[in-house]
Structure 1
Amino acid sequence: MTSMAENLRTVVVADRRHEAEGVISLTLRDVDGADLPAWQPGAHLDLLLAEELERQYSLCGDPADRASWRIAVLREPEGRGGSAHVHDRLPVGSTLRVRGPRNNFPLGQAERYLFVAGGIGVTPILPMLGAAQAAGAQWSLLYGGRRRASMAFADELAARHGDRVLLRPQDETGLLDLAGYLGAPRPGTAVYCCGPGPLLDAVADYCAARGWPQPAMERFQPKPRSADADAENRPFELVLARSGLTLTVPPDTSVLDTVRAAGVEVLYSCTEGTCGTCETDVLDGDPDHRDSLLTAAERAAGETMMICVSRCRGERLVLDL
């Protein structure tokens, strides 16, 4: 069984910078000065901020730098407290526990990349640009935000990459011109996108309509569900193969909460189906996938599920727990 302490370490905030309106970056180092685990573009960290307060933030520094990690955090006034905690309670010199890195948004091989970023969604894209350039691939980035002052790392991107980066503040240029940027599908070209839900939906819809392969995406917020989605919930039998337990998941309780109530230790974080921490192997049964992470092929295969939000389409589900 996976330990709740897996990949946990204590880090210290070594540097803190203002990157844009409402955005700060933190440079994190191992509290004992040891090298940090290696990571690849697209990876994120789980920050254990307080009891029952754990959040995920993309690594946006240099993967070759084993001495430090960099994250950037947008203060979200209407959020659930994670960004406020980072902004208000993590000065330089403070320590915190982190888990990871983990990567649900890896950069695959391609001859050319079309990157699209919206707002703080630029963070996982930053190291991808360096990796694409090092691989000798062609690439460009379309980066939008509400206004120029709110677009983190805009100056850094312009200075380092020049006209490969198209900065498009909405108050100056309007909504992103996806049709003009993406155009028609081209062989060897991959689309990567991160940002707010409406942007991701627009990119996905455009690519589907024009015959592009499915774009690679990372969501910071869960996909919207219909207002009566919870009315579809039915109780089902849940078998935990390794624990030897058979439980009942009520209509108003998640698989995750049912498992935890039975005393079974399991990793989890966002409880929204976006981070992948609670991904669990399915041994039998038909999962009702409600996450915002798995691809269509992964959902069809039904080999894993995010137990914080997903349920069962049938009467019985067997998990490797």
Structure 2
Amino acid sequence: MRTPVATTSSRPPVLRLRVIARYALSERIIALELEAADGMPLPAYEAGAHLAIDCRPASDYANDPAQDEPRLRHYSLCGDPSNPMVYLIAIQRESDGRGGSRFLCDDVRPGDLLHASTSSNLFPVRWPAVGPNSTPPQLLIAGGVGITPLIAMAWALDNAGIAFTLHDFGRSADAHVSAQLSTGTRWRHAVRRHVGRGQDLVALIGPPEPHRHLYVCGPASMIDAVFETAATLGWPHDHIHTERFTAPTTGAERPGGEANAEGGHHADGPFVVEIASTGQRIPVTAGESVCTALSRAGVRITVSCEQGVCGACTTRVLSGTPDHRDWVLSADEQETGTVFTPCCSRSRSPLLVLDL
């Protein structure tokens, strides 16, 4: 997996996007269709990629976006990746969220301009090494708004001639986002819709096959159940792929395992980060995140979810041992200790030197 790494000197180019359509997909979820403000083709993307949208109201947006801290929120692109003229995203309104979804759902209308950037893809399609005729059907499982990245995967797999089955779990029959997003597509008959979670996951997932991959996105409890069932059935870990929109609230196992202190240092206690480019040392107290400490010292990096699930803030570590508390880095990436997510992760050593 290629990981986006934060720097203080560069950011993804800002895209000026015009809203060309807005419509409801369910009671809580809306869709926005976006085009380039200049009418030119949009940057290409692969299924599973996000669009990072600056959710500051227009009245708060400076003429030079770099002058102010962006309020970035990441949304999965859920259209046809082969269409260079339109981006499609779906947003679930969260009344108790941090304001991004309320801004997009309540305030944004067709004709409005949004500022955004594409981000690295942490949930890509794993393309089989054999041809479409030799590839078994891929398995996509979604719950609620977790359907969004899988819709783009459905488009991509169909465009490549690879068969798949997409299982869409919703709380009620009218909560299935896939109903509208698959209308008129060649692959609409590959969608299976389920109300509630009473399905037999053992029968739905089935035994593993060579070149068959499983992709799951949705509520944490559903993701954990799918992972556990697939593992019990013997699926290889590297054939099960997920993206989380929120960190689990239960004691689910994180990819990196347990953290250990070094030299008597407690991972929950204070430590120091050093900015490699300047030598500046910044204390991180026991009650704050690394991102908060960096911001307090005037060092800005891109931050979005603040829960360790999106990867936007991933930063390279030059020295020291991170205490990984994220849900986005793979076990191998965490084991190397060369990158970490400063929005939630801490340090097992008294000092971390960051490539900033």
Match of residue 180 from structure 1? 203
State whether structure 2 residue 166 is matched by structure 1 residue 166: no
Instruction: Give the Cα separation in 1 of the matches to 2:295 and 2:224.
Output: 33
Report matched runs for 1:1-321 at 5 Å: 1-3=7-9, 5-50=11-56, 53-110=71-128, 111-112=135-136, 113-157=138-182, 160=185, 161-170=187-196, 174-214=197-237, 215-224=240-249, 233-321=268-356
Q: Distance in 1 between matches of 2:183 and 2:298?
A: 52
Opposite residue 206 of structure 1, the aligned amino acid is T
Q: Is the 8 A contact 2:275 2:353 kept in 1?
A: yes
**In 2, Cα distance between the equivalents of 1:206 and 1:11?**
41
Q: Name the CA distance, whole Å, in 2 between partners of 1:39 and 1:149.
A: 30
Distance, in Å, in 2 between the alignment partners of 1:169 and 1:53 is: 35
Deviations 1:84-138 (A, max 9, x none): 2111100111112112143111111133311101111111001211222233323
Instruction: Identify unmatched segments of 5+ residues in structure 1.
Output: none
Distance 1:203 1:293 in 2: 17
Please report how far the alpha carbon of residue 262 of structure 1 lies from its aligned counterpart in structure 2 after TM superposition.
1.6
Point out the more displaced range, 151-160 or 23-32: 151-160
Q: Secondary structure at the match of 2:333?
A: helix
Take 2:71 and 2:236, find their aligned partners in 1: how far apart are those partners? 37
Aligned residues: 315
Kindly provide the amino acid, as one letter, of the partner of residue 190 in structure 2. R
Check the 8 A contact 1:220/1:274 in 2, yes or no: yes
Cα-Cα RMSD? 2.0
Distance in 2, Cα, partners of 1:311 & 1:284:
13
> What stretches of structure 2 of length at least 5 have no aligned partner?
1-6, 61-69, 129-134, 252-258, 260-265
Q: Distance in 2 between matches of 1:48 and 1:109?
A: 32
**Is contact 1:37-1:101 (8 Å) kept?**
no
> Structure 1 pair 283/312, CA: closer, same or farther in 2 (3 Å)?
same
Structure 2 counterpart of 1:43, which letter?
A
**Following TM superposition, by how much is the alpha carbon of 1:261 offset from its aligned partner in structure 2, in angstroms?**
1.6
Tell me the secondary structure at the aligned position of residue 120 of structure 2.
strand
Q: Does structure 2 retain, via aligned residues, the 8 Å contact 1:21–1:151? A: no
Counterpart of 2:46 in 1: which secondary structure? coil
- The one-letter amino acid of 1:82's match is G
Q: Which has the higher contact order (CA 8 A, sep 6+)?
A: 2
Q: 1:233 Cα deviation (Å)?
A: 1.0
